[in-house]
Each structure stands twice: as C-alpha cells, then as structure tokens.
Amino acid sequence: MREPPEDAPAEKLALAAMVVLLWVAGYFGAAARIDPTAARVLRTPVDDAIPFLPATIYLYTAVYTAMLLPLFTVRCKRLFRRVVAAYGLVLAASLLCFVTWPVTSLGLRPDPSLLDRLSAVRFDVWGVRLCYALDPPVNLFPSLHLASVTLVALTAGTARRSYGAVGLVLVAGVGASICTVKQHWVVDGLAGLALGGGAWALVVRPYARPREPGVAYGMGGPLSFGLLHGSALLVLYALFASGFRPWDR
C-alpha cells in the first residue's frame, strides 16, 4: 500500500507568500511602464452589448482570494509545487504581454466620477469605485485574474473531482464579472481562460497521483477558504461604512 502524499504546511505558506509578492510587484511594476493613452483597445460588439452591473463586484472580489485556494484544497506538497510552477508560467506570460502588447480599459469603464454619488450609499458601487481607483486601467490582455482562477479551479479538480466542479462555477462567475464590472474586454477573458487552462495542462495535469486519498484536504479546507473570503468582504464593508474613499485624496 502506497503512503499518502506528504503535507508541508510551512513550505506551502512560504511558496504562497512568494507567489503573492511576485504577483503584486510584477503587476503594478508593469503598469507603471505603460501609458494607457497609447495602449490598444480590444472592443467588440459583444463588449458593447454587455451591461454594466455593479452588483457583480461580489463575484469579481473572488479574483483576490481565489489565488490562495490551493492552500485550502491541495494537501500534497508535490502537487502544490506544480501549482506554484504553473502560477509562475501564467505570471511570466502575462507580464510579457502586458509590457510588449499593452491593452487599456479606457473607454470601457464608466466615468468614475459618475459613480461617486452612489458610492456613498451603495456598497457594490463603492466596491467598483475602489477597484477602479486601485487597479490601473492597463494589464488587460490576457486577464491575469481569470487565468489565475482557471488554474486554481482545475487544480482543485485534480486533487478532488467535486472541488473542481465547484471551482468551475467560480470560473464562470468571475469570467462574467470581469466583463460586467467593465474591467476587461471579452477577448481578455478568453485569453485568460486559455492561459490558465494551458498552464494547468502543461504543468499540473501530468501529476502522477491525482485524486488519491491524502492528495486533497477534507471539506474543512474549502469551508475555511469560504470563511477567509467572507472575512475579506466584511473588512471591505467596514471600510465602506467608515467612509473610506481613497479616490477623494
């Protein structure tokens, strides 16, 4: 009988911290090099037909916590290392595209000033306004957010089939929200799906021991992730209720 895959919580936490730091440094570092007025616009008739739906910011917020999902679903350290390597591939490919073929959301987002009045009384509109204030209007193609969510969802399915099914629902929600929040063109999303799926197929899928006992954490893992995401939303709501409006400074 084969031994169950080995867990390594400290190593996984360290690797996750490294990925997050590289993601933040690379994403905002690339944005600092790009002039939005000189970047491309990837508008299609489909983009014009998609309505602006501020309430979908609740789905969109998953892009910020979902990249930590492997910490709560993948127990096996060998599989986790592959996930980190796949993240590195996604990040490197995205940053290369951002710098060499920049795309902007100028002309896609509604005028932020039009949201200011409602952002004082509606949490969803405040969330969109905060997103616009913090996220540069560049780094669109491919959608790094959707690529990351796609990668973690497929990885969850590699560890346990039922986790993958739930993860794909998350992908669908995020994929819709990046368009309805007007953060990405449709083409950005399609490219993000392809990049995340491709990185999973190349790096994670060849893992030799999928869905064996011990590869995935039990249901406590995903439930803990849900608690983390819910806590993040509560923090954001507390900031909203306190009158936090960094765009006014």
Mean pLDDT of 244-248: 90
Cα 136 to Cα 205: distance, rounded to the nearest angstrom? 33
**Residue 114 confidence (pLDDT):** 86
Name the residue ranges covered by the structural domains of the chain: 44-248
Residue that wins the pLDDT comparison between 206 and 87 = 87
Q: Determine how many CB atoms are found less than 10 A away from the CB of residue 66.
A: 24
Q: Which amino acid is at 224?
A: S
pLDDT higher than threshold 50 for residue 35: yes
Cα 88 to Cα 154: distance, rounded to the nearest angstrom? 16
Cα 154 to Cα 202: distance, rounded to the nearest angstrom? 12
Q: pLDDT tens across 130-168, in order?
A: 999 999 999 999 999 999 999 999 999 999 989 999 999
Residue that wins the pLDDT comparison between 20 and 212 = 20
Q: pLDDT tens across 167-190, in order?
A: 999 999 999 999 999 999 999 999
